[in-house]
Amino acid sequence: MFYQLPPVGSPIVVDSSTKLTDVAAFLSYQTQFYASGTAALAAALLAVLAKSQKSFKSGQAEILLPAYGCPDLISAAVFAGVKPVLVDLEAERPWLDLPSLVSAISDNTIAIVAVDLFGISERWTQLRALADQHQLVLIEDSAQYFPGGDEQVAWQGDMVVLSFGRGKPVSLLGGGAVLTKKEALYKHLPTRPAVPESWQQHVLFSLKSSLYNVMIAPRLYWILKALPFLHLGETRYHPLHSIDAMESIRTRMLAGNIIRYQNDAGAVVRHERISSMLDTLNTINNLPKACGSQVNHRLLRYPLLVEAEFRDTAYRRFYRAGFGVSVLYPTDLVKIAGLEFLAVQGQRFPNAEAFAVRLLTLPTYADFSEKDIKKINTILRDIKH
């Protein structure tokens, strides 16, 4: 009980000496920064709507997005005044099901929002072909992915949405961004004046970062998990109320935290060891390997699919042992409290439902050791037998 690894989490550095011009991933993009990843996605949708040559009444323009995902996708769509149309996943994959996606395209569709879930890349070549064929904007939700230092930048969307919130690859405990190479979209992104930086802002960010760095340590994280009002790990729908700029202090600290993330030389080794361990359990779906992820492709979490009948038992065993294993989102978006309005009579998302009840994710950050991997292997084998 008194030792609990968080599912995700890397220390924040208070370092403003590095500039965004030192971060290769940003150099070929025009960028706007916002107060959250949700606000960034809403801004991207507003830009797509403004660029559209069609005239839509409020809520008439449609965007296509996966039926399994974060409720913040819906928050952004509702704020932007577009209609979210859900599309099932491909069976046993974190990808949009392509035939279902094609069937969902209508005369009112303006964009496809696809997600790099866990850091696993979507099938961008196929999505690009579909988007171009139907003259749709392709938005890449990369809140769970940022390229490592040894990776080529693999973003493929017309617009790329990033989040710097708690538990993201590059975390500043808040903030987000929209990146695009298309001037026709960039000029329609809403702009907001950043709050001028002050010493109070700097002190508050430093204190929050220091407290966060301390509390994600396994010897203390269990305290946070025990506080019900924090709702850690819960999937909740929160409406978006405004689009604001990212605080200047976070913008200034961003590059230093990107470099820290990219310089984690052990990340690839941890991915390899987890993958090798899962390969010895031939009844478990090693999702990154099944999706063709390269060894050096950075993952926020390491996902696997287990048999539904023992997934919850496995999770409880892992939790009692102090491992930061997560089931992520408990169900498809339609069944999440507050999102009942998404339901269409007779429509189901069987692949998303099956994915939700079989998913477990393993931590991939530096505190996750070889010893932990061996213990997880033992637990999985014990439960199976």
Burial of residue 16, with CB atoms counted within 10 A of its CB: 0-12 exposed, 13-18 middle, 19 or more buried = middle
List Cβ neighbours of 2 (8 Å cut-off, separation of 6 or more): 219, 222
pLDDT of residue 383: 73
45-71 pLDDT, tens digit each: 999 999 987 777 777 999 999 999 999
Q: Are 10 and 270 contacting, i.e. CB atoms less than 8 angstroms apart?
A: no
pLDDT of residue 363: 84
233-277 pLDDT, tens digit each: 677 899 999 999 999 999 999 999 999 999 887 888 888 888 988
Residue 382: CB atoms within 10 A of its CB come to 10
317-329 pLDDT, tens digit each: 988 888 888 999 9
pLDDT of residue 154: 77
Rounded to the nearest integer, the mean pLDDT of the chain is: 89
Q: Are 274 and 364 contacting, i.e. CB atoms less than 8 angstroms apart?
A: yes
| Percentage of residues of the chain with pLDDT beyond 70 | 94
Where in the chain are the domains? 267-384
pLDDT of residue 338: 93
Q: Looking at the domain 267-384, which fold is it?
A: Aspartate Aminotransferase, domain 1 (3.90.1150)
Q: Which residue has the higher pLDDT, 379 or 41?
A: 41
Q: Which residue has the higher pLDDT, 113 or 363?
A: 113
pLDDT of residue 379: 86
Q: Rounded to whole angstroms, how far apart are CA atoms 9 and 36?
A: 17
Phi-psi region of 303 (alpha: psi -120 to 50; beta: other; left: phi over 0): beta
Single-letter amino acid, residue 334 = V
> Which of the four pLDDT bands, split at 50, 70 and 90, describes residue 10?
confident
pLDDT of residue 225: 64
281-294 pLDDT, tens digit each: 877 899 999 999 98
pLDDT above 90 (res 368): no
Q: Are 144 and 169 contacting, i.e. CB atoms less than 8 angstroms apart?
A: yes
72-108 pLDDT, tens digit each: 999 999 999 999 999 999 999 999 999 999 999 999 9
104-140 pLDDT, tens digit each: 999 999 999 999 999 999 999 999 999 999 999 999 9
pLDDT above 80 (res 192): yes
> Which of the four pLDDT bands, split at 50, 70 and 90, describes residue 159?
very high
